[in-house]
Amino acid sequence: MNRPLNPREVALGVPLVDDRLLLELLNDLHTADDLVRATVREGFFARLLGQVTGRRRRQDLAVTGALVGAQRDTLAWLSGLTTRLAVTDLVVAEVSDEVARVREDVKGLDGRVRWAEGSIRELALVLGELAEQTGRGLAGHDERLRKVESRLAIDDAVRRWRHPRPDAGLGRLFGAVLLAREVAAGPAGEFSDTARDAHVEQELVERMLQDPPTPWYDGVRSVAGLLAEATRHLPGDDHRTMLAELLGAGLREELTRARGPLSTALSTAAATTVRGTDPDAAATKALRGAVRNGTRYVAASLTAEELLRQLVGEQFTEAAARRSRLQEKGTGAGTAATATGTGKAS
């Protein structure tokens, strides 16, 4: 019998892991009424965050009801992200926005619920530094410079997609959706949102078709069959759970309501193809639950180009909706430091 894999081993070489870990912190921003639910939650990224921030994290969360468990270790990990520039501007902005909201909520709470005000204050400071150090955001730049940044971001992401080191064994479909998700959440996605005739999605699809790590299929294939194949060939259940969470499983509804039908079906199929569940049955059920008429329609069979256009389009649409939500609330990814009270709007 194979030994269980350590979450760190499973996550090696997988794109967007630091983004999802940062979003996992949002699941620890809760009131005492949510504490019981939080302590029983044990998703892949909850376990991985527990490792990278120290074993005391979950114990502190359960015992003290603090908003952010194991404050010192968590902040140390966050500080390390500023050095590695390992997260996208969109996720930094979303977490910063939530921290800013919680800081306001703290002021209105009475003695019945004790929030870890010091933890939130320090978390806000570190997030502000992270936003400043990454230097990536939604703030306006010269269009030519933003076009160069967009092209460089695509080049870098595609290079790592074609030559993963180490190879996480995700397969072409999950690898493709994570590539598109990474590009959409970074400078290229922001450029696509704000520049007319940017054609970023089209450029990314062409790059993915021209030089993939493994050849795409010819002709037309069943979407359900493609989903089943993708989940069946993953190394193990931890990989399936990890990918489901990378595509939004386990996050608050406001962060996932803009997910497209194919992305939703992929996440659901990965999450349910565990412990011997038949991949074909799981994929069919996941598609049936995610696909609707209108904007959520996905054809039953697609060519490789149609599949990629659908996947890429969904990631860019979702990222644009998340940016729009932040802007409506008065928080831009480029002004995340302002949201945390540590910077000035540009």
State phi, psi for 328 to the nearest 5 degrees.
-65, -30
| Residue whose C-alpha is closest to residue 31's, from 101, 124, 113, 103 | 113
CA quadruple 243, 249, 254, 259: dihedral sign: positive
Residue 6 in tokens: 């350590």
State phi, psi for 220 to the nearest 5 degrees.
-115, 140
Q: What is the DSSP code string of 208-222?
A: HHHS-SSPPPPSEEE
Instruction: Give exposure, 88-120, as e/b (b: 16+ Cβ within 10 Å).
Output: bbbbbbbbbbbbbebbeebeeeeeeeebbeebb
Amino acid at 314: E
| Residue whose C-alpha is closest to residue 230's, from 268, 257, 201 | 268
- Is 285 a residue whose pLDDT tops 60? yes
CA pair distance 50, 44, nearest whole angstrom? 10
Can you state the percent helix, strand and coil of the chain, rounding each to 5? 65, 0, 30
Rounded to the nearest 5 degrees, what angle is found at the Cα of 103, between the Cα atoms of 98 and 109?
Answer: 120
CA quadruple 317, 320, 326, 328: dihedral sign: negative
Q: Report, as an integer, the average pLDDT of 210-217.
A: 92
Banded model confidence at residue 147, pLDDT cuts 50, 70, 90: confident
Q: Report, as an integer, the average pLDDT of 205-231.
A: 95
* SS3 annotation, 64-130: HCCCCCCHHHHHHHHHHHHHHCCCCHHHHHHHHHHHHHHHHHHHCCCCCCCCCHHHHHHHHHHHHHH
Q: Which helix (DSSP H) or strand (DSSP E) does residue 302 occupy?
A: strand 301-303
Percentage of residues in the chain with pLDDT exceeding 70? 59
Banded model confidence at residue 145, pLDDT cuts 50, 70, 90: confident
Q: What is the pLDDT of residues 251-270, one digit of tens each?
A: 888 888 899 999 999 999 99
Q: What is the pLDDT of residues 17-59, one digit of tens each?
A: 777 776 776 665 544 334 434 444 457 767 766 665 554 454 4
CA quadruple 212, 237, 310, 333: dihedral sign: negative
Q: What is the pLDDT of residues 306-323, one digit of tens each?
A: 999 999 999 999 999 999
Amino acid at 172: R
- Is 131 a residue whose pLDDT tops 70? no
- Is 215 a residue whose pLDDT tops 70? yes
- Is 300 a residue whose pLDDT tops 80? yes
Percentage of residues in the chain with pLDDT exceeding 90? 39
**Residue with the larger pLDDT of the pair 110 and 286:** 286
Q: Report, as an integer, the average pLDDT of 176-198.
A: 89
Q: Report, as an integer, the average pLDDT of 283-293.
A: 93
Rounded to the nearest 5 degrees, what angle is found at the Cα of 333, between the Cα atoms of 132 and 77?
Answer: 55
- Is 276 a residue whose pLDDT tops 60? yes
Cα-Cα end-to-end distance for the chain: 57
Q: What is the pLDDT of residues 162-173, one digit of tens each?
A: 988 777 889 999
**Residue with the larger pLDDT of the pair 226 and 146:** 226
The domain segmentation of the chain, as residue ranges, is 7-138+335-339, 143-328
pTM of the complete model: 0.69
- Is 299 a residue whose pLDDT tops 90? yes
Winning range, highest mean pLDDT, from 96-100, 151-155, 204-208, 334-338: 204-208
21 and 7 in contact (C-beta within 8 Å)? no
* Non-local CB neighbours of 98 within 8 Å, separated by 6+ positions: 26, 29
- Is 234 a residue whose pLDDT tops 60? yes
Residue 138 region by backbone torsions, left for phi larger than 0, else alpha for psi between -120 and 50, else beta: alpha
